[in-house]
């Protein structure tokens, strides 16, 4: 086995754990690493870095940019970060400060479950994305490297028919948009 495999071993193990915990792991969408069903404490900074990194000189495919679906969850009807979300965002901030990611811009994208009107959920998802961006900026990520988008209830990753599914849908995704330069 190559050294690259051993360097990626924590990510591989985390994806297996995430799949066992009900996440989709490597989603059926190209470029998406889905940690939304994983225990936030089990995700390491290196896992986030690896999932979002692009080899130097490589072009990001617009149809499949490196995306991480994170278990940065919110209470029902709220844009307030839960404590476990703050701990994970500390790791996200460290990943974004890593040599592999400092030259990239990112989109922070908020999502909701399907309870409430579509208009309200769009507003709430935007507030969630802004809350994550604000947290990262306060911890040193340059504001000009982060944009935000709210998707509302339009892109569920789990069944909205259960409490667990709705919780997974109240999430944030981080997408690598390409080089700042």
- Name the pTM for this structure: 0.81
- Domain limits, the chain: 3-179
Mean pLDDT along residues 13-35: 54
User: How far apart are alpha carbons 139 and 149 in whole angstroms?
Assistant: 20
pLDDT score for 28: 64
User: How far apart are alpha carbons 96 and 36 in whole angstroms?
Assistant: 19
- In the three-class reduction of DSSP (H, G, I as helix; E, B as strand; rest coil), residue 161 is classed as coil
Query: Does residue 54 contact residue 71 with C-beta atoms inside 8 Å?
Result: no
User: How far apart are alpha carbons 155 and 50 in whole angstroms?
Assistant: 24
**Nearest residue to 81 via CA among 128, 25, 114:** 128
Tell me what percent of the chain is helix, strand and coil, each rounded to the nearest 5: 40, 15, 40
Query: Does residue 35 contact residue 23 with C-beta atoms inside 8 Å?
Result: yes
Q: What is the pLDDT of residues 32-91, one digit of tens each?
A: 999 988 888 999 999 999 999 987 778 888 888 999 999 887 777 889 998 888 999 999
- In the three-class reduction of DSSP (H, G, I as helix; E, B as strand; rest coil), residue 168 is classed as helix
Give me 4's structure tokens.
């690259």
- In the block, tokens 């979300």 appear at 85
Domain 3-179 has CATH 3.90.1260.10: no
User: How far apart are alpha carbons 64 and 45 in whole angstroms?
Assistant: 22
Q: What is the pLDDT of residues 102-156, one digit of tens each?
A: 999 999 999 999 999 999 999 999 999 999 999 999 999 999 999 999 999 999 9
Q: What is the DSSP letter of 177?
A: E
Burial of 59 (C-beta count, 10 Å sphere; 0-12/13-18/19+) = exposed
């Amino acid at each position: 086995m190559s050294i690259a495999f051993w360097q990626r071993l924590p990510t591989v193990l985390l994806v297996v754990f995430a799949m066992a915990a009900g996440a989709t792991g490597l989603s059926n969408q190209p470029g998406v690493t889905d940690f939304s069903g994983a225990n936030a404490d089990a995700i390491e900074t290196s896992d986030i870095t690896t999932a979002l990194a692009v080899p130097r000189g490589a072009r990001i495919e617009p149809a499949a940019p490196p995306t991480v679906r994170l278990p940065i969850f919110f209470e029902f009807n709220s844009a307030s970060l839960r404590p476990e979300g703050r701990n994970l965002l500390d790791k996200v901030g460290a990943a974004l400060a890593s040599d592999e990611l400092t030259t990239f811009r990112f989109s922070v994208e908020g999502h909701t479950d399907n309870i409430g009107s579509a208009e309200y959920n769009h507003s709430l998802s935007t507030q969630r994305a802004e809350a994550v961006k604000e947290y990262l900026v306060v911890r040193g990520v340059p504001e000009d490297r982060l944009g935000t988008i709210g998707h509302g209830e339009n892109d569920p990753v789990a069944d909205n028919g259960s409490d667990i599914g709705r919780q997974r849908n109240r999430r944030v995704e981080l997408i690598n948009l390409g080089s700042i330069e």
